[in-house]
Structures are given as structure tokens and as C-alpha cells.
Amino acid sequence: MAQDLKIRIYSARQISIQEPLQESWMDAPLTYTDGYVRAVDPDFKQFVSAGDARRMGRLLKRAIATSVSALQEGGVDMPDAIITGTGFGSVENTELFLDALVREGEQMLKPTQFMQSTHNTASSLIGIHTHCHGYNSTYSQKGLSFDCALYDAWLQFRMGKIGSALVGAHDEMSSVFSEFMRKAKHVREGEICSEAAISVLLGTDESKPAYCTLDGLKLLNRPTSQELSDAIHSLTDGCKLCGVMTGMSGNRENDSWYGFLNELIPDVPLLSYKQIFGVNFSSSATGLYAAACCLKKGQIPACLTRNGAPVRTDGGILLVNIVDGRHYSISLLKSLCGNY
């Protein structure tokens, strides 16, 4: 069992509140003042036929677009595994079905809306689209959903069952559900309630170009400070860290959860991405996508740093995602440039 297994990130693609399927946000991020912002969609025609597109909700179209785009960039036709994280699944169809059920009663309900309301439709549709019979799974654990999916891929790689995995995070929003997100404190004061579709292609082939490596991942529920410290040290010992990608958002309660980092790794600059991509159940995937882009480019752009100055990425970026102050996901991405 290879404990020091390094998984490479071949590609990472996004549809979010930034310009879709590109990295212009690194230099010129779109900025918003509204509390609820939907994603900027690309032209889906290059990814799905008009007929198929009519039958698919937005979440599914975005999942296909980011998946196909990630597979193309990574030069993989069919991944060995397709694993998705989603907090709410297809909100649009869930809401339509639920609304009709509650307001109009138990007649005339639409099967397509029900089918698409199931959380695993993205993973299975990607399977159908790529004709992939391999490992296929879906996780739904609020803002930890993507981290759980990535952990599953990490397990499958370590067991030697797969050589590549397409790991995604797909969450869409509606105005009704965005209010629910606020009421349930999934999105807090000062945060933008947003949407995200992220597809990350990972694999073990060292001959392929890659953004960076994924060197480890630990998920913890209500850890003690000792458990947290052990987890971070076991991941980062011997690694030069050039930043910690946090889920800090400017909300005081949310940001207080990350305070321990100042004591544990005081000299490493704290980075944040939620001001760029907003907050949704797939947020942590936007953080990993952003970190992978930084390591590919060799630079953390000013828009992600606390002091507004860019940072050279000559080592690793630690990702720390904390959900509701209780679920902790800690992972390490490392630069492929030079010897670290």
C-alpha cells in the first residue's frame, strides 16, 4: 500500500460566477454586489446537442461541459472512475417537483423533474456521456461533499483500483433555495450565495502534463486541537508551504474557525477564494481548482491573497476547508516545478 502515493491533477475546469472554462479571473476577476449570483454559462452547443440540452437542467449541462472540457485538456477519453460531490443536487428540478406537489397536489407530476432531482444524476449522466462503466459514486455532505468525493478517489487510487478519476462538484441555486441557504446559515452575512460546477481530472500517469500533485487528504469531524495539529503536520512535514487556501469569506463566525492556523503555521500566508467564487456547497472545489491553477501558473494572484500582493508558488499549497465549524478537510497540493 503506497502511503506516499502522489496523484497528479491533469486538469481542472470551472463554471462559476467567473468567466466560464477559463482563468481570466486570476488577473481580472468579475466582482459582484448582489447577495445571490448565478453562474456565467458558456455556450453549451459544443458539449451537448440541442436536443439533449433541452432535457437537461442547468446543473447537468454544466457537469457535462466541465467534465468534457477537463477530459479533453487532460487527454483522457474515459476515466477509470467518476465521483461527484453535491450538496443539494439539481435544485431547479427538485424545486419544480416539490412546488407542484405542495401547491397542486399529487397529480400530473413530471417524471423528468423527479429523475433529475436525484443527487447522482450528474455522475451517472457523465458515465452515460463518456460510455464509462467504471467506478461511479456521489457524495452529499453539505460543503464537505467535494472533499468526500476526492477522498473516495484517493482511496481508490491507493488500493490500485484506478489510474484516473474525474472528480466533480456541482451545485446550482434558485432564488427560493438561496433564501433557504441564508435561513439555514449555509451562506452567512456578507457572503455571496453562488453556483459552481468544477471538474478535476486526476491520475497516476507521470508522462502526462499536470497542474500539480495531490499529496494527501485528511477529513475530520469535530477534531481535538491535537488531532488537527497531527493531521496538518503529517501532511506538511518536510514541505515548503507557500500558502494556505482557506474557506475564509469575510464573515466573522466563519473566519474564526480558521484562527488556529495562525498558531499552528504562523509564517504561511493565508489565502481565500470565496470572495471570488461566492459560497455554495461546492465551494471547496472552487478552492482546490484555484490552488491548482496557481501551482500551474507558478503564482498566486493578488485577488486571493490577504495583502493584495501576488505570491510565487515554489512549494505546496495547503487546503483547509471547515464546514459549520465541525467538518475539517485538510489536503496538500504540490508544485511540479523544481525540487521540493
Nearer CB in complex with another protein: 151/289 = 151
In whole angstroms, the minimum distance from the beta carbon of 89 to another protein comes to: 8
Residue type, 240: K
Binding-site member from 33, 183, 263, 267 for another protein (CB under 8 A): 183
Of 20-28, 83-91, 235-243, 251-259, which segment contacts another protein by CB under 8 A?
Answer: 83-91
Nearer CB in complex with another protein: 32/180 = 180
58-95 in b/e form (b: 16+ CB < 10 A) is: bbbbbbbbbbbbbbebbebeebbbbbbbbbbbbbbbbb
Nearer CB in complex with another protein: 21/322 = 322
Parallel, antiparallel or unpaired: strands 164-171 and 327-334: unpaired
159 binds another protein (CB under 8 A): yes
334 binds another protein (CB under 8 A): no
Phi, psi of 170, rounded to the nearest 5 degrees: -135, 115
In whole angstroms, the minimum distance from the beta carbon of 75 to another protein comes to: 21
- Residue pair 157/6 in contact by the 8 Å Cβ criterion: no
Torsion sign over Cα 82, 86, 92, 98: positive
Helix (H) or strand (E) holding 212: strand 212-221
- Residue 42 to residue 21: CA distance in whole angstroms: 8
Owner of C-alpha cell 435561513? 183
Owner of C-alpha cell 457572503? 191
Of 69-77, 104-112, 272-280, 313-321, which segment contacts another protein by CB under 8 A?
Answer: 104-112
Bridge partner list, 311: 300
Read off the C-alpha cell for 92: 431547479
275 binds another protein (CB under 8 A): no
Residues between 114 and 143 with contacts to another protein, criterion CB under 8 A: 114-121, 123-125, 127-128, 130-142
Read off the C-alpha cell for 81: 472512475
Of 19-27, 219-227, 239-247, 297-305, which segment contacts another protein by CB under 8 A?
Answer: 219-227
Nearer CB in complex with another protein: 140/299 = 140
Residues in contact with another protein, total (CB under 8 A)?
66
189 binds another protein (CB under 8 A): no
**Residues at the contact surface with another protein, assessed by CB under 8 A:** 1, 82, 86-89, 97-99, 101-103, 105-106, 109-111, 114-121, 123-125, 127-128, 130-142, 144-145, 148, 151-152, 155-156, 158-159, 176, 179-180, 183-185, 219-223, 227, 281, 327
